[in-house]
């Protein structure tokens, strides 16, 4: 992969912005010598949106300890360290594409996927070989409001922001140098029922919530904003909303129970779990004896496994990006898919309930794997 830090097109746009900047716009403008404005500056007026964004993974994408540790590991082993760094930084700290700050020194770079980056993207072309963006940093902020007017900065209505999955695909769809689809969220979505109905990423991940788009609410009719927290699998309630878990049948015998559990991806717009294949969904069935622990635990694991050119399974994020050559297996739940899983569970004498659980497991940070309980169903003894 090749990265050109500064395209001719970008330079031309910046030059125009400098020459054409009206003094009235200068409030929302980048400081002298900077291409992008800090989220802190946007917060002066877009306070509520800023609060949500600052709780998002996007705000932490360039500074999370997991990311920084993985980045170092990825660079360490690479033959061309500069290239390896760029290949890991352009999505996590995308302002670096234009500023060239791939070593994450500047404050704006550390803001990760920041306001001014997203709102100055003018187009996305996934077929491009370096990065997919048409960048237009400057005073004109592009967004979903057709009649926005601001004395702080120029505004432009943008269907890319309002209703196109391409804006998100730019970073959530990725083939590495070997052509392996390390991230395939967009392709999965595009092949399924939600895309056909015109339900884009924004509709589920940025739903309208109460709030003023500008502090003090200039226009009382605009009492709703699009949620900028963009939660995904790391938040249990979000995942629960997209998945169903129930007992299909429970047949209790003398010393065992035959249990059939139905699990469904009823509301996730892509395969679940989405994103990197360091994530998995686990269906666990077992017995509660009152200790709180699940005993006689049995599992089904739903995940996508990527392999290197020699067919070895890859487990770390850096390996996935740098060495993946093919998809080994994919047992994830596709959109609207439901499955019935059967288990035979031995019953200890003191059993109190048969329990089915859905757990979301994230092994992106091997030093601190995370497991979140998504849903639980219980069948009490004697019922
Ligand atoms: C095409 C854009 C893109 C590139 C290139 C990219 N990432 Fe990511 N990265 C993402 C996205 C999107 C996620 C979230 C995926 C998910 O939800 O599973 C992510 C998640 C991660 C995570 C887990 C999140 C966390 O902070 O806990 C780590 C670690 C990470 N990336 C490291 C890297 C490294 C190291 C490289 C270079 C080898 C790299 N990334 C290259 C887009 C990218
Ligand atoms: C001095 C106040 C102020 C500052 C600072 C400011 N904005 Fe705005 N912005 C506004 C106002 C006012 C509107 C118009 C709102 C409306 O019409 O409902 C607006 C509208 C927008 C829109 C909607 C555009 C559209 O057509 O959909 C976006 C996107 C936006 N701002 C992004 C930003 C970003 C990014 C920053 C920081 C780089 C920023 N703003 C800084 C006041 C400000
Ligand atoms: C410039 C690149 C970029 C763009 C554009 C982008 N993302 Fe992300 N996104 C990332 C990265 C990188 C991460 C992972 C951050 C981390 O955890 O370190 C992420 C994380 C997320 C997560 C959280 C995943 C989790 O595990 O909880 C969601 C949800 C998400 N993005 C949705 C979206 C949607 C929807 C859009 C389009 C409106 C979008 N993203 C646009 C780069 C981007
Ligand atoms: C990942 C890209 C991304 C980031 C980062 C981002 N936005 Fe947005 N923003 C969007 C999209 C997409 C929409 C439109 C969503 C829709 O219409 O469904 C939007 C909508 C808006 C709007 C119009 C009002 C609304 O809520 O619809 C404003 C104003 C705005 N964003 C400001 C900001 C500010 C300020 C920040 C940083 C604190 C920020 N955005 C960060 C993608 C982003
Ligand atoms: C119909 C609603 C819906 C649509 C459309 C949708 N998503 Fe999701 N998405 C969800 C739900 C619910 C989750 C949480 C379940 C999960 O973790 O997979 C999720 C999870 C995610 C995650 C976190 C992955 C993980 O499992 O940690 C990312 C990243 C993401 N979505 C990105 C996208 C992108 C990019 C698009 C558009 C191409 C999109 N989503 C379209 C509902 C949707």
Instruction: Check pLDDT > 90 for residue 184.
Output: yes
Flag the least confident range among 108-117, 231-240, 343-352: 231-240
SS3 category, 208 = strand
Between 231 and 173, whose confidence is greater? 173
Q: Which ligand is nearest to the CA of 96?
A: 3
Between 269 and 292, whose confidence is greater? 269
CA 324 vs CA 175, 221, 316, 318: distances in Å = 9, 50, 10, 10
Q: Which ligand is nearest to the CA of 111?
A: 4
Q: Which ligand is nearest to the CA of 170?
A: 3
Q: Using 50, 70 and 90 to split pLDDT, how confident is the model at 4? A: very low
In this structure, which long-range contacts are made by residues 180-183, counting pairs with CB atoms below 8 Å and at least 24 apart in sequence?
180/306, 180/324, 180/325, 180/326, 180/327, 181/327, 182/276, 182/306, 182/320, 182/321, 182/324, 183/275, 183/276
pLDDT of residue 207: 87
Instruction: Check pLDDT > 50 for residue 361.
Output: yes
Do the Cβ atoms of 139 and 24 come closer than 8 Å?
no
pLDDT of residue 223: 78
Residue nearest to atom 37 of ligand 5 (CA): 201
Residue nearest to atom 29 of ligand 2 (CA): 143
Task: Tell me what the mean pLDDT of segment 94-111 comes to.
Answer: 97
Distance from the alpha carbon of residue 322 to the mean position of ligand 5, in angstroms = 24
Among 25, 28, 43, say which to mutate for ligand 2: greatest number of ligand atoms within 8 Å of CB.
Answer: 28
pLDDT in tens, 134-168: 999 999 999 999 989 898 999 999 999 999 999 99
Distance from the alpha carbon of residue 274 to the mean position of ligand 5, in angstroms = 6
Maximum average pLDDT range among 32-36, 170-174, 215-219, 229-233:
170-174
Distance from the alpha carbon of residue 217 to the mean position of ligand 5, in angstroms = 30
Flag the least confident range among 154-168, 169-183, 211-225: 211-225
Of 100, 90, 83, 91, which is closest to residue 5 (Cα–Cα)? 100
Distance from the alpha carbon of residue 365 to the mean position of ligand 4, in angstroms = 29
Task: Tell me what the mean pLDDT of segment 231-241 comes to.
Answer: 61
Q: Which ligand is nearest to the CA of 320?
A: 1
Instruction: Check pLDDT > 50 for residue 25.
Output: no
Which residue ranges have their beta carbon within 6 Å of ligand 2?
27-28, 37, 41-42, 44-46, 115-116, 119, 141, 143-145, 148-150, 152-153, 155-157, 213-214, 218-219, 222
Residue nearest to atom 37 of ligand 4 (CA): 115
- Would you say the CB of residue 192 lies under 6 angstroms from ligand 5? no
List, in order of start, the domains of the chain with CATH numbers. Answer: 8-164+200-226 (no CATH), 236-380 (2.60.40)
Instruction: Check pLDDT > 80 for residue 222.
Output: no
Query: What is the secondary structure of 293-340 as a DSSP string?
Result: SEEEEEEEEE-EEEE-TTSPBP-SHHHHHHH--EEEEE-PBPTT-EEE
- Would you say the CB of residue 335 lies under 6 angstroms from ligand 1? no
Please, which residues bridge with residue 300 across strands?
Answer: 283
pTM of this prediction exceeds 0.95: no
Q: Which helix (H) or strand (E) holds 84?
A: helix 81-92
When the pLDDT of each residue in the chain is averaged and rounded to a whole number, the result is 89
pLDDT in tens, 271-287: 999 999 999 999 999 99
Q: Which ligand is nearest to the CA of 230?
A: 3
- Would you say the CB of residue 276 lies under 6 angstroms from ligand 1? yes
Do the Cβ atoms of 45 and 214 come closer than 8 Å?
yes
Instruction: Check pLDDT > 80 for residue 80.
Output: yes
- Would you say the CB of residue 112 lies under 6 angstroms from ligand 3? no
Q: Using 50, 70 and 90 to split pLDDT, how confident is the model at 23? A: very low
Instruction: Check pLDDT > 70 for residue 34.
Output: yes
pLDDT of residue 240: 61
Share of the chain above pLDDT 90, in %: 76
Q: Using 50, 70 and 90 to split pLDDT, how confident is the model at 77? A: confident
Instruction: Check pLDDT > 70 for residue 65.
Output: yes
CA 6 vs CA 80, 81, 110, 132, 137: distances in Å = 20, 20, 19, 13, 12
Q: Using 50, 70 and 90 to split pLDDT, how confident is the model at 28? A: low
């Amino acid at each position: 992969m090749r990265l050109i830090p500064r395209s001719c097109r970008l330079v031309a746009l910046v030059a125009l912005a400098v020459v054409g900047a009206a003094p009235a716009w200068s409030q929302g403008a980048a400081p002298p010598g900077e291409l992008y404005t800090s989220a802190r500056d946007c917060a002066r007026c877009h306070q509520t949106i800023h609060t949500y964004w600052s709780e998002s993974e996007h705000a932490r994408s360039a500074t999370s300890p997991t990311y920084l540790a993985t980045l170092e590991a990825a660079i360490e082993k690479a033959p061309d360290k500069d290239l390896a760094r760029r290949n890991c930084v352009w999505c996590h700290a995308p302002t670096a594409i234009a500023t060239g700050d791939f070593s994450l020194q500047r404050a704006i770079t550390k803001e990760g996927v920041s306001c001014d980056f997203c709102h100055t993207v003018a187009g996305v072309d996934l077929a491009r070989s370096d990065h997919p963006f048409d960048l237009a940093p400057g005073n004109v902020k592009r967004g979903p409001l057709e009649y926005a007017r601001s004395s702080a900065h120029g505004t432009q209505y943008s269907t890319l922001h309002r209703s196109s999955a391409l804006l998100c695909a730019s970073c959530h769809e990725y083939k590495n140098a070997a052509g392996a689809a390390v991230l395939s969220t967009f392709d999965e979505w595009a092949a399924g029922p939600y895309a056909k109905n015109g339900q884009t990423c924004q509709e589920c991940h940025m739903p309208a919530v109460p709030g003023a788009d500008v502090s003090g609410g200039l226009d009382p009719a605009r009492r709703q904003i699009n949620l900028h927290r963009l939660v995904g699998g790391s938040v249990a309630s979000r995942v629960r909303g997209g998945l169903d878990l129930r007992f299909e049948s429970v047949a209790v015998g003398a010393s065992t129970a035959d249990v059939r559990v139905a699990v469904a991806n009823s509301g996730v717009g892509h395969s679940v779990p989405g994103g990197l294949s360091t994530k998995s969904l686990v269906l666990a069935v077992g017995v509660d004896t009152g200790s709180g622990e699940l005993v006689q635990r049995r599992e089904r694991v739903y995940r996508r496994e990527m392999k290197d050119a020699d067919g070895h399974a890859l487990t770390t994020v850096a390996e996935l990006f740098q060495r993946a050559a093919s998809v080994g297996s994919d047992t994830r739940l596709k959109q609207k898919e439901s499955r019935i899983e059967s288990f035979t569970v031995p019953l200890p004498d003191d059993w109190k309930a048969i329990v089915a659980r859905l757990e979301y497991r994230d092994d992106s940070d091997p030093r601190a794997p995370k497991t979140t309980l998504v849903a639980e169903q219980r069948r009490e003894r004697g019922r």
